Structure 1
Amino acid sequence: MYPVAQETELSNLLGEPESGVSPQVLTASQALQQVWAANPQILEAQLAIQAAGYDVTGSWGGFLPSVAVTNLSGDGAVSSVQASLPLWSGGVTLAQIRASEAREVIAHANLDKVRLDLGLRTIAAFHGMAQAQEQADQCVAYINALDALRATILRRKEQGVARESEVRTAESRVQQAQVEQESVQLQLIRSRNELQELLQISPQRVESSDPAAALKSILPIDETKAVEHNPDVLIAAARIAERTEMAKQARAQLSPEIAVQYRHYYDGRAFDETADTPQLVVQYQVGSTFTNWQKKKAEEARAEAAKSGLETAKRNAAARLVDARQRTVSASRQVLLQQQAADSTQALVESFLRQYQAGNRSWIEVLNGQREAHESALGLISARRSLAQSQHQLILQSLAWNALGR
């Protein structure tokens, strides 16, 4: 569990100055540490754990004696103090304690659930920004390449071997690339804003990281253990325990209460001849028997329903883990294919340019080849980001969070 850190501690963690200025470069590990340390949802979940702990401690009060003071005034009034020590209540106190303990387990599991959800959102935003950064850099490289081609066609026009339409075509492609660049910049801003919403900081850049080493360090993944310790599964299991204890509480209401009582009159004339003598008292509320019986049946039905929820949670956790693994394998293959495509199209551009100068290719084919090379490079960037994101997601879903700090 990550405690809520102070501003100075967060600044040290992220390598920021203590003034709170956003970091220039943010890594994926730093982003996760930040969101797990300072996001308001984390603080809320931590406080819920504290509250659940107080409930557990307070539920033990059912074993403690109670004291009642009656202080009356007026003619013939009497005042007394009465102490009562419970001996038997049908097990209601133990059921209350165990139900409180189950709710404490739920609170702890909910903190991990919040951490997992925030981690997945942070990783998605982080890699979205990383992809937009790389695509922005690729747009710059594409525009530079088009500028070089435009310079080439201008020289050929001056030499009288190129037409005006070819120059205009090159200029049109540059303008189109500039529009695309603006679109990528907008996506970069959106991704940065998503990170800022999660982290409360706005990094200038994110550092592209390769989580392959972290993933390799936890292989092979124990999927059975990962499913059993999944927060949703732990919550569902604890919910069964809570409902079971709630049913026991309802059943205990059908039993009589046995206690030792002691009464002492300290003012007025006592009307109870057994005062100042401990008594064994048995109490039973007949009027609420039907209500308590129906409440017991209702809680038993909820406990049975919770068992179905546990099975559903296990299946969903296993499915998410399998999906993350399959995405990782698929993304890895896509990277290899995209790399081959990018290499091929770049070589194609150089070949087309030579053939154009020899008169065997048209100028539009050269520009189209450059565009295809650019799109292949964008596809490679997208594939790499998908691979890194799926690897991070697989690590998060396998609950091997310590590996993310390596």
Structure 2
Amino acid sequence: MALGLALATPTVQAQPAAKGTSAPSDKQSGGVGGLGGVLQAAVQNHPSVRKTIADREASVAGVDEARAHYLPTLSGQTNQGADPNVTWGLIRLQQPIWAGGKIDAGVDVAESKLSSSEWAVLESRRQLMEQATAAYVAVIGNKALLATAQDGVNAHEKLLDLIRRRREGGVASDADIRLAEARLASVRTQAKDLAGQVRRQELELSILTAGHAKADAPLPSLYMNWEAPQELLTQAREASPLIRRKRQDVVTVTHETEVHQGERWPVISLRVDSDVGPTPTVYNQPRTRAGIYAEANVDGGGFVGYQRIKADAARLLAAQEDVAAASFEVDRRVQIMLNDRDLATQQLGDHQVVVQTQEMSLESSLRLYDAGRKNWVDVLNAQRELLDARLNRDRAKMTANDAELRIAVMCGTLDALAGLE
């Protein structure tokens, strides 16, 4: 039985969860007006995503460019002889027949870079999804904190009114009123700070979505197999566009090595030359000629190519280590968030118990005050402790929500909600 945290409720509930994960529906998340709308607006409208999409289009053109090397090359030249009034020229058509695998490897390089650019698009979208999800959770969580703080303001206002009435009856003192007013001012300040946090996170969310969506619906409920962290780690690795892109970079370096290895071989081509204009008789050759030619360049006596291949081997090793580093980073982030989620879930249950205890303590303090066995300081202290317990509970819930949804983004669980599938 997997433990599911119902994100829209303040308590932890045991929920049946299938192995793996399931994405929340639009109905659960409020459709395009809820988390789904925020995610879709973020991945569609943010400039960083449009930039990676433009890079992908450039990579598509790069594949076409690489394949164009299979086509013949048309060139021309002009020459002027001893007579300045006589100019002759040459038109050449050259079709590569065998290039030592350079052209094939060049196409493979371009196609591999295209695959990398596609993973880069998904990586950019996932990063925005995580940022938008965090901002959404912060808006919802801080609104809950603000509502709790406002309840505290209302409770302190009622206590202040009650103390003022008691003073008129000669039961309370001016010191009691000053203390109640100070406590009320402190709670109001706390509520104002939380209202500022709500506005700040709403602004962050508006910037991420280009003003196309806002947090106007509760968070969805996620049912993930939290009791099997290794499965979540595996799923996050498999769904990580960062790891996929780094693996594709290894393929790209491998094909680039093949290009450099092919440069050691001559290029065999079919060449057709045709003279244009008066042909100098000194050449004593037909105006149109065809033949098979081989061309090769040995830069630096062959040492340039040798050192280039050595550099390719080092680049390949670096790319492979980059894959390992990316996997390590994904594991590190998931493990930290799992730890944060587990800790916050435990704290959420503990704080709920504290809230219930403080509610009973406040009721008891009010009864004992009426019986003359406690003073207003005890009542005000009980009210403040109850408010602090409720705020701590709401903060723990927000931390758990943030960790769970970040993990869901990394595992690809929210891709369908964001319109990526």
Could you say which TM-score interval applies, normalised by the shorter chain? 0.7 to 0.9
Greater Cα offset, 320-329 or 183-192: 320-329
1:7 aligns to what? Answer: none
* Deviation for aligned residue 1:367: 0.3
Q: Does 1:258 align with 2:248?
A: no
Q: Cα distance 1:322–1:292, how it changes in 2: closer, same or farther (>3 A)?
A: same
Q: What SS does the aligned partner of 2:244 have?
A: helix
Q: What SS does the aligned partner of 2:128 have?
A: helix
Residues in 1 aligned to 2:90 and 2:327: alpha-carbon distance in whole angstroms: 58
Residues in 2 aligned to 1:86 and 1:202: alpha-carbon distance in whole angstroms: 53
Native 8 Å contact 1:254 1:293 kept in 2:
no
2:294 aligns to what? Answer: 282
1:99 aligns to what? Answer: 109
Residues in 2 aligned to 1:28 and 1:147: alpha-carbon distance in whole angstroms: 36
Q: Does 1:345 align with 2:339?
A: no
Residues in 1 aligned to 2:140 and 2:404: alpha-carbon distance in whole angstroms: 15
* Deviation for aligned residue 1:328: 2.6
* Deviation for aligned residue 1:256: 1.3
* Deviation for aligned residue 1:240: 0.9
Residues in 2 aligned to 1:333 and 1:303: alpha-carbon distance in whole angstroms: 45
Residues in 2 aligned to 1:137 and 1:174: alpha-carbon distance in whole angstroms: 15
Native 8 Å contact 2:409 2:415 kept in 1:
no
Native 8 Å contact 1:262 1:275 kept in 2:
no
* Deviation for aligned residue 1:201: 1.6
Of 324, 341, 349, 1:328 maps to: 341
Describe the superposition over 1:13-57 as per-residue Cα deviations: whole angstroms up to 9, x where unpaired.
Answer: x9xxxxxxxx9x952222111101111111111111111111011
1:367 aligns to what? Answer: 380
Residues in 1 aligned to 2:127 and 2:358: alpha-carbon distance in whole angstroms: 40
Q: Does 1:177 align with 2:187?
A: yes
Amino acid of the structure 1 residue aligned with 2:164: L
* Deviation for aligned residue 1:204: 7.1
What TM-score do you get using the length of structure 1 for normalisation? 0.87
Greater Cα offset, 219-228 or 133-142: 219-228
Summarize the alignment of residues 205-224 of structure 1 with structure 2, pairs less than 5 Å apart.
Answer: 206-213=216-223, 215=224, 221=231, 223-224=233-234
1:395 aligns to what? Answer: 408
Residues in 2 aligned to 1:254 and 1:204: alpha-carbon distance in whole angstroms: 59
2:391 aligns to what? Answer: 378
Q: What SS does the aligned partner of 1:312 have?
A: helix
Residues in 1 aligned to 2:70 and 2:255: alpha-carbon distance in whole angstroms: 17
Residues in 1 aligned to 2:213 and 2:327: alpha-carbon distance in whole angstroms: 37
Q: What SS does the aligned partner of 2:268 have?
A: strand
* Deviation for aligned residue 1:205: 5.3
Amino acid of the structure 2 residue aligned with 1:279: G
Identity of aligned residues (%): 20
Residues in 1 aligned to 2:335 and 2:210: alpha-carbon distance in whole angstroms: 32
Q: What SS does the aligned partner of 2:155 have?
A: helix
Amino acid of the structure 1 residue aligned with 2:47: P
Q: Does 1:86 align with 2:86?
A: no
Residues in 2 aligned to 1:203 and 1:67: alpha-carbon distance in whole angstroms: 54
Aligned length: 383
Amino acid of the structure 1 residue aligned with 2:188: Q
Residues in 2 aligned to 1:323 and 1:179: alpha-carbon distance in whole angstroms: 33
* Deviation for aligned residue 1:102: 1.2
Higher relative contact order (CA 8 A, sep 6+): 2
* Deviation for aligned residue 1:403: 5.5
Q: Cα distance 1:140–1:26, how it changes in 2: closer, same or farther (>3 A)?
A: farther
Native 8 Å contact 2:35 2:215 kept in 1:
no
Residues in 2 aligned to 1:403 and 1:60: alpha-carbon distance in whole angstroms: 35
Q: Cα distance 1:402–1:307, how it changes in 2: closer, same or farther (>3 A)?
A: closer
Q: Cα distance 1:291–1:136, how it changes in 2: closer, same or farther (>3 A)?
A: same
Describe the superposition over 1:163-191 as per-residue Cα deviations: whole angstroms up to 9, x where unpaired.
Answer: 12111111111111122122112111211
Q: Cα distance 1:46–1:287, how it changes in 2: closer, same or farther (>3 A)?
A: closer
Residues in 2 aligned to 1:49 and 1:233: alpha-carbon distance in whole angstroms: 18
* Deviation for aligned residue 1:398: 0.8
Amino acid of the structure 2 residue aligned with 1:397: M
Q: Cα distance 1:117–1:204, how it changes in 2: closer, same or farther (>3 A)?
A: closer
* Deviation for aligned residue 1:280: 0.9
State the superposition RMSD in angstroms.
2.5
Residues in 2 aligned to 1:225 and 1:339: alpha-carbon distance in whole angstroms: 32
Q: Does 1:230 align with 2:237?
A: no
Q: What SS does the aligned partner of 1:212 have?
A: coil
Describe the superposition over 1:196-236 as per-residue Cα deviations: whole angstroms up to 9, x where unpaired.
Answer: 221122867543314334x479x995643531341111111
What TM-score do you get using the length of structure 2 for normalisation? 0.84
Residues in 1 aligned to 2:155 and 2:208: alpha-carbon distance in whole angstroms: 37
Of 182, 188, 211, 2:198 maps to: 188
1:48 aligns to what? Answer: 55
Residues in 2 aligned to 1:286 and 1:205: alpha-carbon distance in whole angstroms: 64
Summarize the alignment of residues 62-141 of structure 1 with structure 2, pairs less than 5 Å apart.
Answer: 62-73=69-80, 74-75=84-85, 77-141=87-151
Describe the superposition over 1:56-99 as per-residue Cα deviations: whole angstroms up to 9, x where unpaired.
Answer: 11101111111112244535532221111111222111111111
Describe the superposition over 1:306-348 as per-residue Cα deviations: whole angstroms up to 9, x where unpaired.
Answer: 1111112122223323333333333222221111111111121
Q: What SS does the aligned partner of 2:412 have?
A: coil
